[in-house]
Structure 1
Amino acid sequence: MFKKGIFFLIICSLFSFQKNISDDEKIKKEINQILDNWHAAAGRADFDAYFHLLSDESIYIGTDATENWTKKEFMAFAKPYFDRGKAWNFIALERHIYLSSDKKTVWFDELLDTQMKLCRGSGILIREKGEWKIKHYVLSMTIPNENAKEVVTIKSPLENKILESKN
């Protein structure tokens, strides 16, 4: 009888563990789809679909040192691009998704194929009123280590002005 009880507990534990794994995988699949849809909405210049996926309190940090926008500011910046019928087209080549233990917060990083060649994106999604919303997103250009000195030379004039204004 004792062996049957232990066997039953082991089987229940395995099913519970499997359920948690499948729940995690289901959420990760959903997040992948949301992020793919978000990037695709920009690619087809669908302003409403793109910005619907951002939380009202979201922050978007672009590749330029001056680009740290609220949703409203980012919408104002992006509107002319979307109105032209061509915004930007990012395609995820690789993505890693991580879940909080309560499964209400997700963070991710992605390698993107863009008009700027390879870029990295990272961000946070949260559950708001039963929907996943992008709360924070950071886009960065990749720079090969062997070219860092050249890039620093190119960006120094503008960024020196920013540094001086912050001191």
Structure 2
Amino acid sequence: MRSLLAAAVLALAAPAWAQTPQEEAGAAIDAMHQAASRADAEAYWETFTPDARFIGTAATERWDIPAFQAYANPIFAEGRGWTYHPRDRHLTLAPGECRCVVWFDELLDHDRYGVVRGSGVAVRTERGWRVAQYVMSFPVPNEIAGEVVERIREAGQAH
């Protein structure tokens, strides 16, 4: 009974501007994209959990944070980053009382690559929402999927 009462009091005391968990997680994902665009390595790595995974578009790109830092930090050090403009994002809050896990997918616009898809998992930590896994992919229209797969095979990139 006491925890129910405490939860009710906290809910009543929450400010009207309080965000939903999905909005908070979305803001953390936005912060990740913005930090990458600014080539702000410190802010970028802060958006991930320590045990996060970043899965890139190539079959070999499955990085833990130290491996991803080894790849990205030299790029950031040159003042270069990568800019993706998120749109059409869908966030799903995991069921249960913790309200601490969100999975998501989003379409992103990129100047060079066009439309790209990002998906992943964000978790609420003691330091706020962090990305635990991010997967980037190229959405391929079904009409040309066979041709794309053949080109990947020719390039020796299919694993």
Partner in structure 1 of residue 106 of structure 2: 110
CA–CA distance in structure 1, aligned partners of residues 81 and 148 of structure 2: 25
TM-score, with structure 1 as normaliser: 0.78
Query: Matched residue pairs, number?
Result: 143
Bigger share in helix = 1
CA–CA distance in structure 2, aligned partners of residues 110 and 81 of structure 1: 24
Deviation per CA, 1:88-146: give whole Å up to 9, x if none. 10111110011122201111110110231111111111122242111111000111111
User: Post-superposition, which runs of at least 4 consecutive aligned residues in structure 1 deviate over 3 A?
Assistant: 22-25
Three-state SS of the structure 2 residue aligned to 1:28 is helix
Three-state SS of the structure 2 residue aligned to 1:159 is coil
Match of 2:144 among 135, 138, 147: 147
Match of 1:79 among 58, 64, 73: 73
Unaligned runs of 5+ in 2: 1-7
Equivalent positions of 1:6-155 (< 5 A) are: 26-100=20-94, 101=96, 102-114=98-110, 115-155=112-152
- Aligned residues with identical type, % of pairs: 36
Three-state SS of the structure 1 residue aligned to 2:60 is coil
TM-score, with structure 2 as normaliser: 0.81
1:159 correspondence with 2:127? no
Three-state SS of the structure 1 residue aligned to 2:52 is strand
Q: Which has the higher contact order (CA 8 A, sep 6+)?
A: 2
CA–CA distance in structure 2, aligned partners of residues 95 and 59 of structure 1: 20
Deviation per CA, 1:39-81: give whole Å up to 9, x if none. 0111111011011111100001000000000011011111122
8 A contact 1:55–1:135 mirrored in 2: yes
Larger radius of gyration: 1
CA–CA distance in structure 2, aligned partners of residues 120 and 69 of structure 1: 18
Residues 48 and 70 of structure 1, relative CA distance in 2, 3 Å threshold: same
Unaligned runs of 5+ in 1: 1-14, 163-167
Following superposition, the deviation at residue 23 of structure 1 comes to 10
